[in-house]
A and B are shown apart, each in its own frame.
Chain A
Amino acid sequence: MTKARDLADLGNKTSLDEINDAYDAGALSNRNLIINGNFAVTQRADYSSSTSVASGAYSVDRWKANDPFNLQRFTGQVIDGIRTNYVKVSYNGTQTMGFMQLIEDKNYEVLRGQTITISAYVRTNQPLFGFRLYDGGQNYGPRFVADGNWHRATWTLTWSPSSPSYFQMMFDTYQGSFPTIGSGDYMDIAMVQVELGKVATPFEHRSYGEELAKCQRYYYAFQVLNGLTGQNSFLAAAYSANTLYGVIDYPVQMRSNPSVLSGGTWHARNGNNNSFTLNLDFQKSGRNNGTVAQGSVGSSSTSDAFWVESQGSTGYLAFDAEL
């Protein structure tokens, strides 16, 4: 069957075998509305050891703590015959923990009034964990099988056609109240997918570059602590004595004008080598680039040109346009 025929017939398919045929032919690409559902992208840190994530903070790209947890990422694991990554989300001393992704309104519009299916591979020891969807109101999904083995959990629901202003897909315990969990409780999570339709199709694997670009709409790590992104530099000029201005382009258009987070030791170099602590402000901020300002750079005179480079392991610079 041709790809064009698959696409034309897609709306008539009802069985998983038929949908899998279409999937194999490539007719169902870009169907997963979850970004970084296989936890391939980790711009903030590599999470190779268990790391505490505070309530409201982001961890692996696009994934946020609704309530605090410890998170560790495991790569190159085989789950149900598929080589992939997973994260261990575990108890960190508070009564609850919640792991979630917010989907942008420009992307979830297509889901309004439609039947959708959420799926993920989950391994847990706590039968209180399950799916939840917050859309301005609460939708409670099934609890996970808590036998310490991997299971593919699925949840099909018809999403409200009107009023929702949020799409928050969560893994947690909340079903009207938060039951207490305890030490040793965990969820291992892999291959998360949200898609149109009433059948959970196989997880959609995208290239690392494609997934990274999707993540960079929300967060762009220009320079990460400990040099995980190498040693990066940007160009700048002195507008006045000791104050530099530079333009930093973003690799993709960001969702909003981003906030900038900066610090550590950097060097402004031309004939001189001026060491300073990076603490950027915005001169101008857009979604395609930002003009940043840095004060307190010694030995710089008006119109001097520099390249500003991170050295060692302390420099960091990131742009945040997360939801």
Chain B
Amino acid sequence: MEYNMNITVAQYRADIDGNNSSVKATIDGQELSVPLDPANRHYAEILKQVEAGTLTIADAE
């Protein structure tokens, strides 16, 4: 069966220079800091769900 991660929260985090450096996300019930690397499976899934229109990444505070 195809497995899709359950992502309930996603928000960019900024580095000390004000650039987005990661996404804070709750994935399958675990809170993770996810780097902006398409080879990272969590970020790849975030991009996939954003593309599908099922997830929005909130701006960094």
Taking Cβ atoms with an 8 Å cutoff, the residues of A that contact B are: 54-57, 66-67, 96, 178, 239, 245, 255-263, 279-285, 290, 292-293, 320-323
Question: Which residue of A is nearest B42, CB measured?
Answer: A259
Are A260 and B33 in touch, CB under 8 angstroms? yes
Give chain A nearest CB distance to B33 CB in angstroms: 5
Given the interface pairs A54-B28, A282-B21, the reply to whether A257 lies near B35 with Cβ below 8 Å is yes
Q: Which of A257, A258, A283 contacts B16 (CB 8 A)?
A: A283
Q: Which of A57, A255, A281, A284 contacts B24 (CB 8 A)?
A: A281
Are B37 and A257 in touch, CB under 8 angstroms? yes
Give chain A nearest CB distance to B17 CB in angstroms: 9
**Does B1 count as interface, using CB distance less than 8 angstroms?**
yes
23 example contacts (A-B, Cβ-Cβ < 8 A) are as follows A55-B3, A57-B28, A66-B1, A67-B1, A178-B1, A256-B39, A257-B35, A257-B39, A258-B35, A258-B40, A259-B35, A261-B32, A262-B33, A263-B31, A279-B31, A281-B13, A282-B21, A282-B33, A283-B15, A284-B15, A285-B21, A320-B32, A321-B40
Q: Mark B1-33, 1 if CB is under 8 A from A, else 0.
A: 101010000000101100001101000101111
CB contacts (< 8 Å) of B33 on chain A: these are: 259-260, 262, 280-282, 292
**Does B48 count as interface, using CB distance less than 8 angstroms?**
no
Give chain B nearest CB distance to A137 CB in angstroms: 15
Are B35 and A66 in touch, CB under 8 angstroms? no
How many inter-chain contacts with C-beta < 8 Å in the A-B complex?
A: 70
Known: A281-B21, A285-B21, A285-B35. 16 other contacts (CB 8 A): A55-B3, A57-B28, A66-B3, A96-B1, A259-B35, A259-B40, A259-B42, A279-B31, A281-B24, A282-B33, A285-B36, A290-B35, A293-B15, A320-B32, A321-B40, A322-B41
Residue total for B at the interface (Cβ-Cβ under 8 A):
23
CB contacts (< 8 Å) of A260 on chain B: these are: 32-33
Give chain B nearest CB distance to A74 CB in angstroms: 27
Give chain A nearest CB distance to B28 CB in angstroms: 7
Are B28 and A56 in touch, CB under 8 angstroms? yes
Give chain B nearest CB distance to A21 CB in angstroms: 41
Are A282 and B30 in touch, CB under 8 angstroms? no
CB contacts (< 8 Å) of A66 on chain B: these are: 1, 3
Given the interface pairs A258-B35, A260-B33, A261-B32, the reply to whether A55 lies near B1 with Cβ below 8 Å is yes
A-B pairs with the 8 shortest C-beta distances?
A285-B35, A256-B39, A257-B37, A257-B35, A56-B3, A282-B22, A281-B13, A259-B32
CB contacts (< 8 Å) of A282 on chain B: these are: 13, 15, 21-22, 33, 35
Question: Which residue of B is nearest A282, CB measured?
Answer: B22
Are B40 and A257 in touch, CB under 8 angstroms? yes
Give chain B nearest CB distance to A93 CB in angstroms: 15
CA distance A54 to B27 in the complex (A): 13
CB contacts (< 8 Å) of B42 on chain A: these are: 259, 320
CB contacts (< 8 Å) of A320 on chain B: these are: 32, 42
Question: Which residue of B is nearest A57, CB measured?
Answer: B28
CA distance A257 to B23 in the complex (A): 13
CA distance A263 to B22 in the complex (A): 17
Give chain B nearest CB distance to A25 CB in angstroms: 38
Give chain A nearest CB distance to B2 CB in angstroms: 10
CB contacts (< 8 Å) of B31 on chain A: these are: 261, 263, 279
Question: Which residue of A is nearest B30, CB measured?
Answer: A261
CA distance A56 to B34 in the complex (A): 17
